[in-house]
Structure formats: structure tokens, C-alpha cells
Chains A and B, each alone.
Chain A
Amino acid sequence: MINLWNRLRREPWIWSFLAAIGVWLATVAYTGGQGAGEILTAALSFATFSIIVGLGQMMVITTGPGNVDLSIPASITLSGVVAMKVMDTDSARLLLGIGAALGVSFLVGVFNYGLIRLLRIPPIIATLSSSFLVLSTAISYGRGIRIKPPIPLDTFATTRLFGIPLAAMLVAVLSVILAIVIKRTVYGRAVLAIGQNPRAAWLAGINVNQTRFMTYVLSALLAGVCGILLSGFSGGAALNMGEDFLLASIAVVVIGGTSVAGGRASVPGIWGAALFMYLLVTMLNIFGASAGVRLIMTGTIIIAVIVLASGEARPK
């Protein structure tokens, strides 16, 4: 038991799960055990969306300091708008809509990396500027009309099997695949190597540019998947549907134990952190905290978790 704990405490993701469990127990204790399972199911439904974009953001952040994708919210919105408009509530056009949405997401990823590579703009500013263009495209294309998702998509996004949302199962499969990709494929190894030392990776013969290109495209594609699922879940696309995911995507990555300095990724941590974030909001809601108190508590707890998780005193 003590051995197991000693091994676990060295895992970067363990803190996010401990935090999530702690918050859940506090909530359940407050309600006297009522709705314990229901709370978990709801958290899982909402956390799914942060997990999808968190996985993409994690890969980007892992490629080294300064790499971050700020265009995720805009990509989510554009993908949602394109999917709903192409599908046009018609189930027969479901695959066409998914294809179109993923297609534009792919282009966003290509555009992002083009700015970073060809114009040598720092990734933060490059993805920020491109997000403005992407959002404008979504506004102009969507024209503010709210189109309902076709029934199969709606059903898929909202159905639960034994209390577990189908979408969460899909994302679990995605996560396992990504974890294997990171550990076992040349691409995954290259991402880690570049994050640790881009120059050494380049000298070792890794194609740094191709790897970074694939990473930015992957992040945009995952944002696209999130956009499609989110429109199915919330009954259509909205122009502000991506807003919350700018901070959420970064927060789940870092709370989950992925190194901000790059070179170390943690897939399970994304799950722990996303669940933690939603359970935290649920807990504060159940405690009846006002909006202001809720925000202050969320912020303080994010800081506290990061102090605990990456808490090593500066080496002398």
C-alpha cells in the first residue's frame, strides 16, 4: 500500500485526481450522499468537451515553451457553425457535415502553422491573430441563425449508457489512442524530444517542422471534434460557444501535470483536471455561493493546486 502510494505520488497526474475526489467527497458530504452518482455523470458530460480540446492543447504545449494554441475557441465555433449549416437538420447529410467541419478545422491548423513557420510569428500571437480571422469567418458564414443538429448527432451527444455519456466513451477511446501515440510512435516521441530540446532533436535527425505542423493540425482537428459534439449537445451552434474553452483548455493541461516547459505530457491528468474543474463549480453551486465568490474560489483553488502539484522549491 505504502509502496503503491510512493509510486503514485511521483505521477504528475495524481494531484488532479486527488483534487477531483476531494471536491466530490466534500459535495456529497454536504448533500448527505444525495445525488452522488448524478453529480459524477453531469461532470463527465461537461468535462468531455474540455478533455477533447485539452488533449490538443497538451500536445501543442508539450512541443516546448512559447507553444500554445489560442485559436481553439474560434475553431470550435467555426466547426460547430459549419457542421450545423452543412447538415441542415438532415440526418442523411451527417457525415458530409462532419467532413466539412473537420475540413475547415484542418485548414485552420495549416494556417496557424503557416503563420508560425513562414512569417516567424510567435505562436501565441499567431494563433491569436488567426483566431480573429476564424471567428469573423464563423460570424459571416453563420449569420446568427441557430440550426438544430440532426437527430442522430443530438442522440449521440446526449445519450448515457449506465450513467456514462456516449461522448465521454468516444473521448476515452481517443485518449487511449493518443496516449499510445505519445508513448509508442515516432511522432509522439518526436513531440516529447522537441519539447525537451529542439536543437538536440533536430541534430538527432527529427523533422522538427513536420512534427510541429502535425501538432498544430491535431489541435485544430480536436477543436473541430469538440465543436461538432458541443453543437449536438447544446441543440445547435452559437457564436460564443467556444469562449469558455480558452482558459479551460490551458487550465486542464497544466493542472493535469503536463509540463509548461514542454517535453512531458500526461493524458490521464487531462481527465482528472477537467473533472476537478467541473466538480468544483458544482460544489460551489450546491454550497450556494454567489457568482463572485465562485470565481474567487475557482481562481484560488487553481493556484493552490498548481502550487501543490509543481511545488518544488527553486534549486539553489
Chain B
Amino acid sequence: MSRSLLRSLLPIISLMVVLGATFYVQPRTMSYFGLNLMLQYAVPIALATIAQMFVITVNDLDLSIGPFVGLVGCISATLLYTNPLFGTLVLLLCIAAYAAVGALIHSRNLPSIVVTLGLSFVWVGIAVLILPSPGGKAPDWLKSIMGLQTPLVPLPIIAAIVIGLLVQLALMHSSLGVIARGAGGNPRAMERAGWSMLKTKSIMYALAGFFGLLSGLSLLGLTTSADAHVADRYTLYSIAGVILGGGEFIGGRVSPLGAVIGALTLALAGSFLIFLKISPDWQIGAQGAILILVLALKAPLTTRDVSQ
């Protein structure tokens, strides 16, 4: 088997290993109900990971996606609940803000890490103004979508496959996708070839905002009430998910299906650790160890490079 094929199969192998280990430790999870329960929180994480992936495609990094998911939850549990039309408008405005940030980062040649760092404060601030303490109510339609009992295969698995395939098609097989990945590979060459990088970056940021919005909505559908800080961890999860899925920070090398698989692996690892009954002190450390282990597998498959 060639190295590159093995590399592209690595995310799915990692997922299978973690899944197998979970089944071994707790055989009762090998059921419709068990899988549903274990994987339901993987849906918002996968959506946030896809959002992060769009930003990584154009060589940027979004440190504000977690707080943004939290903000969407706060808006949806208050404004969208009491006044659906106004709530929708505010949510659309959030996506527009994302696109504007992308345009600003591109046109002034700013470091995305710092701009999104500042942005994360803004998102939390707005969320705290809207919802000073945890609470609010999820719209009923949202709860019923997330609680849907699909026949045979649990909803989270269907959702993950649909999201992965749709984005895979859109990013890997459309002209916009090719331009966007080219923008990550060599922006100057794409610019010279006549493509507007400003437009490309704005669209990629808008897409990140859109998937961040979906992530926030699906998370609210599960938790049924909102909290400004509920998704703070998602920033790090989403970055780790993209990398676990075979993506790279530079060069426009990303894989939407891989990103979804990476997010599922992360979510499963959390459940696995709970089943292992290790001391709560070491839960978070074990998560770090799993992350290192999975990434270590990649090392022998990567070619040596001093300038990495």
C-alpha cells in the first residue's frame, strides 16, 4: 500500500480503533440507543470543525469559532425564540460580520490569529449582554430536529455522513472550491490569474460563519438552554479535528470528510475515557494523550522537511 493512500486512510482507521476500543470496554454502546447517546454531541463539534476548515483552507486560523457558537446559542434561545423574524435577521447579520472580517483580514493583510482573538472577546461580550446568566429556551422545532429518531441508523451518524459528503462535493469538486484551495496554496498566483482573493476570502469566512451558525443551532437543540461559554472548548476541538482529519495549516490542503471523521474521533474519545473509569484528574490528560497517539501515527508517513 502506498504511503499517501495509507495517510488518507489514517483518519478513518483512527476512528475505527477508538470505536472498537469503546465497544470493547462497554459492549452495551454497540446499539442504536448507545451510539445515538455517544455521538449526539459530535454533530455540533463536526459543524464547528467544518467552519474552522474553511478558514484553514485559505491559510488562516479562526480562534473565535467557539465563542461564536456560544453566541449563536444565546441569540437563538432568546431573540429567535421570542421573535423568529428578528432573530433570523440578527443571525444573518452575524454571518455578514464574519464575511466582513474575512475581507478586512485580506485587504489590510492582517494576522488572522490576532483579529479572531479580538473577535472572540466581541462575541462573548455580545452573548453576555443578550443573556447575562445561563438560560433561555430552544425553539421547539430545533429540539424536535435534534431529537429525531431516524430508522435503523442513528441521526448523528446520518448527519455526519451528509455534512461530510455535501462539503466534500462543494469544496473538492466545484470551481469555487478549487479557487479557494488555490488561494491557500499560492494566493499570488491565483490573483495574477485574475481571481479576486478578496471575494474568495470573504466567501470562505462567510461559510465559516454559516457552519458556526449551524453548530450553535444544533448544540442548542441538544442542550435546550443557552450559555455564553458553553462552546469555548470548540475552538481547540475544531482545530484538532481538522488536523486529525488529515488537513494541514498551510497550502490549502484540507479534507472535509476527514474533518468530520476527526470531529467524531474527538467526541468518541471523550465517551471512551468516561467508560474507562479513569480518575477525573486524568480525564483531560488522557484526551491529550489520545490526540498525541493518533498524530504520532502520522509521523512515519510524512516526509522529512527542515522548513516545516
Contact = CB atoms under 8 A, between A and B. Distances in A.
A262 to B, nearest CB: 11
Contact of A292 (B111, B120, B128): B128
B114 A199 contact: no
Interface in A40-84: 65-66, 68
B303 to A, nearest CB: 10
Contacts of A119: 292, 295-296, 299
A64 to B, nearest CB: 9
In the A-B complex, the 10 residue pairs with the closest CB atoms: A136-B285, A132-B288, A299-B121, A295-B125, A296-B125, A302-B118, A292-B129, A299-B122, A260-B111, A292-B128
Given A118-B299, A125-B243, A314-B106, A299 B120 contact: yes
Contacts of A261: 111
Contacts of B118: 251, 298-303, 306
Interface stretch (B4-12, B161-169, B206-214, B275-283): B275-283
B125 A131 contact: no
Interface centre among B126, B127, B281 (most CB of A within 10 A): B281
Contacts of B288: 128-133, 136
Interface of B: 61, 104, 106-111, 113-115, 117-129, 132, 236, 239-240, 243, 248-250, 279, 281-289, 291-292, 295-296, 298-299, 302, 306-308
B129 A313 contact: no
A296 B126 contact: yes
Contact of A254 (B111, B281, B286): B111
Interface in A276-316: 290-303, 306-307, 310-314
25 contacts: A66-B250, A120-B299, A124-B61, A128-B240, A128-B288, A129-B240, A129-B289, A129-B291, A133-B288, A136-B288, A199-B307, A202-B307, A247-B120, A250-B114, A292-B126, A292-B129, A293-B129, A295-B124, A296-B121, A296-B129, A299-B121, A303-B118, A306-B118, A310-B109, A313-B109
A132 B282 CA distance: 9
Main secondary structure of the interface of A (DSSP, over half): helix
B299 A302 contact: no
Interface in A199-256: 199, 202, 208, 247, 250-251, 254-255
Contacts of B281: 136, 139-140
Interface of A: 65-66, 68, 115, 118-122, 124-126, 128-133, 135-137, 139-140, 198-199, 202, 208, 247, 250-251, 254-255, 260-261, 290-303, 306-307, 310-314
A132 B295 contact: no
Contacts of A303: 114-115, 118-119, 122
B119 A299 contact: yes
B284 A135 contact: yes
Contact of B284 (A66, A115, A132, A208): A132
A145 to B, nearest CB: 13
B114 A314 contact: no
Given A198-B307, A295-B124, 4 more contacts: A120-B299, A292-B128, A295-B125, A307-B104
A9 B108 CA distance: 18
A132 B108 contact: no
B249 A124 contact: yes
A302 B119 CA distance: 9
Contacts of A208: 306
A198 B285 contact: no
Nearest to A289: B125
A271 to B, nearest CB: 18
A296 B120 CA distance: 9
